[in-house]
Amino acid sequence: MTKGRLFSASEEEIRNGYTTDVYFDRTKRILEARGNGETEVWAEVTGSSLPRDWKWAVYCGLEEVLRLAEGYPIDMYSVPEGTVFRARSQNSVRIPLMNIHGVYSRFGVIETPLLGMLCQPSGVATCAARTKMAAGGKSVTAFGNRRMHPAISGVLDRSAFIGGCDAVSSRMGGDITETEPLGTTPHALMLVMGSNEEAFRSFDEIIEPEVPRIMLIDTFSDERTGAMDACRSVRNLMGVRLDTPGSRRGNFKEIIDEVRWELDMNGYEKVGIMVSGGLDEISVAALSGTCVTGFGVGTSISNAPTLDLSMDIVEKKGEPVSKRGKFGGRKYAYRCPDCLYMDASLSPGDSITCSCGCEMDMIEEKVLEGGKRTSKPRGAKEIRESVIEQLQLISEL
Ligand SMILES: [Zn+2]
């Protein structure tokens, strides 16, 4: 029996332009028919404003863009993946996150997928970063794959991890980020097996010892009863997880405190408490000062607003051009190493002083030359670490 095809695009279809907006193909045909098929341009990727009045965002998705753009006859320059950036300078100039030099009709086909590979991942990474900041040093695990199409699970997990999440939940995300995916027991295990003890004991006996033991304790009864079931049934119990339904939550902090008390009183001081269920940066912040040791955050990260980045031609045959509302000329991104304010200049060797008094750094790197990679690929862990470092400098959300 032939199965119907899924509606998600294959890698091949993305690469050959099947998902690209149809106007590009028409533009290319017109340019070629009218002798403009070889017009060399500079195009830049910028954002006009950030969603939800965010003051900054995390630039994510460059590595996938490079895997897409490799082989095209272009030179590409970009700020490093993981850059915490602002959309505009204090003089309203849009900060160029990426610059592409080449013949428009030869690379325009990748504009649509390239923007998608930056806009959505950057939104997810930014939400993850804000949630990680709200958690005040406690761990955050990305649990949001089930809210989005499975074709992008790897992208979502990588973006959430780069933004600052400590762990991801899918095996694909684990492979891409070179981390061990994290999972607890699902409610289904206890429901099918009929009791907490039976499910917890079986998990402990069957699952490899290196997998952290985190038991979900809200299935049948009170969380503190469930917590003691877990302590009795599992050796090396790492934590208990409360996914308490909204209808039973009442004062969630008090339920968590009560579970902590019960654990401590019975000698399980080392057992952590993970909470999940409809959390976002606001509810995580509200619980960050409690005895919670980790958060599982799903929808609010995977359903992050996508960034409104666009690609625009800013130079044609060496002359500045631009559509109204944009600033012409090939520009270089600068950023203050101290407060992360940004600026753009027409010169790569400019000396720009930030309003805080620091000298700004030109932060653009050459990433492709004639379609060949010129920068060493950076792993997700390294990028994530740089994001965490930058987040220490952020004082406003
Ligand atoms: Zn500054």
**Parallel/antiparallel/unpaired status of strands 84-85 and 57-58:** antiparallel
Separation of CA 50 and ligand 1 centre (Å): 20
Compute, in angstroms, the gap from residue 342 CA to the centroid of ligand 1.
8
11-122+306-391: in CATH 3.20.140.10: yes
pLDDT the model gives residue 92: 93
Burial class (CB in 10 A: 0-12, 13-18, 19+), 208: exposed
Q: How far is the CA of 115 from the centre of ligand 1 (A)?
A: 29
CA of 285 to the centre of ligand 1 (A): 27
The pTM score is 0.96
Taking the centre of ligand 1 as the mean of its atom positions, its distance from the CA of residue 354, in whole angstroms, is: 5
Assigned superfamily of 183-291: Aldolase class I (3.20.20.70)
Residue with tokens 């976002």: 280
Percent of the chain with pLDDT over 90: 95
Q: Is the pLDDT of residue 1 over 90?
A: no
- Compute, in angstroms, the gap from residue 90 CA to the centroid of ligand 1: 11
Please, what is the average pLDDT of the chain?
96
Does position 278 have pLDDT exceeding 70, yes or no? yes
> Nearest 5°: CA angle at 345, between 342 and 350?
95
Surrounding residues of ion ligand 1, Cβ less than 5 A: 336, 338-339, 341, 354, 356, 358
How many angstroms separate the alpha carbon of residue 397 from the centre of ligand 1?
16
8 Å CB contact between 290 and 135: no
Burial class (CB in 10 A: 0-12, 13-18, 19+), 349: exposed
Q: What is the arithmetic mean of pLDDT over 195-208?
A: 96
Q: Domain extents for the chain? A: 11-122+306-391, 183-291
Instruction: Give residue 341 CA to ligand 1 midpoint distance, Å.
Output: 6
The token pair at 227 is 């917590």
State the Cα–Cα distance between residues 215 and 123, nearest whole angstrom.
31
DSSP per-residue string spanning 206-238: HS-TTS-EEEE--SSS-HHHHHHHHHHH-TTEE
- Rg, the chain, Cα only: 24
CA nearest 43: which of 308, 309, 310, 312?
312
How large is the average pLDDT for residues 198-227? 95
CB 165 within 8 A of CB 132: yes
For 54-77, the pLDDT digits (tens) are 999 999 999 999 999 999 999 999
Residue 110, SS3 per DSSP: helix
Strand (E) or helix (H) holding 41: strand 40-47
Rounded to the nearest angstrom, the distance between the alpha carbon of 344 and the centre of ligand 1 is 14
Distance 194 CA to ligand 1 centre (A): 59
Confidence of residue 103 (pLDDT cuts 50, 70, 90): very high
Phi, psi of 312 (to 5 degrees): -135, 145
The side-by-side arrangement of strands in the sheet containing 213-216 is 139-142, 294-297, 272-276, 237-242, 213-216
